[in-house]
Structure 1
């Protein structure tokens, strides 16, 4: 049993004009895996404040954070990593344009994709349920069970 703490993250489900915003999951083109913008939470700030900050850092967008819609877990048993992510429905405040020159201060996110549901279904996206959650009309919260990290 690993003694490492579980990492908590917040992610944004942003659908604008029937397109879901996705970002690259790994830096330096290590993988074509895409995910929702967001990241690890900092102590002393709420999940929603952390999420708004992460989205701004990764995309330059300002969002209004809404209700949670998904809880996802993933892990890498080889290194004892386990992350729990809480996904929130978000709406854009202001312009939806991400400048080509935008740079993530952490230099991880360097690719932004606005995908329709049909386009997203052809992409390598995690978690598995993200597409169905993003384009669903239900307001229920879902749970995506523990899965291994993939590249």
Structure 2
């Protein structure tokens, strides 16, 4: 039996806008998600999250309280990932289009207003509700993994 992959993600709000990244090199897909990624052993969840956000955005953050547990799965190949989302604040830096993700995974990053969320593809489905809510922690069980698709002409 395969163990679920554990990942951490940051909900970063600035001027009532949510930071999202596109983790598809070459803009091969128009799906946006919160910055973050896989947890490495021998580092705390906040340490892993701070590292991932730095790599993907060039921002330094303070990691706050957890706000969402989301599970993704793909029944076809038994992939299962548990994402732990934390409310975070920027402590240093600003988005810069010249920033290069050292792993070359994230190529686009930007802040979205709540009304812009209806015009983009994003995961998880509950992202806007959680991001713009002051509620405690939410849970999304077993959301189907979204497979990449071609980006729409003109970008996302």
Q: Which bin holds the TM-score, normalised by the shorter protein?
A: over 0.9
Greater CA drift, 22-31 or 41-50: 22-31
Q: Which residue of 1 aligns with 2:154?
A: none
1:21 to 2:14 alignment: no
1:34 paired with 2:32, answer yes
For residue 149 of structure 1, report the CA deviation from its aligned partner: 0.9
Aligned 8 A contact 2:4 2:80 in 1: yes
For residues 29-81 of structure 1, give each alpha carbon's deviation from its aligned partner in whole angstroms, at most 9, with x where no partner exists: 22100000000000011111000000000000000000000000001122221
Aligned match of 1:63: 61
Length, aligned pairs only: 147
Helix, strand or coil for the counterpart of 1:145?
strand
Q: TM-score normalised to the size of structure 1? A: 0.93
Structure 1, unaligned runs of 5 or more: none
Residue in 1 that maps onto 2:81: 83
> Unaligned stretches of 5+ in structure 2?
149-156
User: Equivalences for 1:95-134 in 2 at 5 Å?
Assistant: 95=93, 97-134=94-131
Taking only aligned residues, the RMSD between alpha carbons, in angstroms, comes to 1.1
TM-score, normalised to structure 2, is 0.90
Please list every run of at least 4 consecutive aligned residues from structure 1 whose deviation after the TM superposition is greater than 6 angstroms: none
Could you list the per-position Cα deviations for residues 115-139 of structure 1 after superposition, in whole angstroms to 9, with x for gaps in the alignment?
001012321010000111101122x
What's the counterpart of residue 140 of structure 2?
Answer: 144
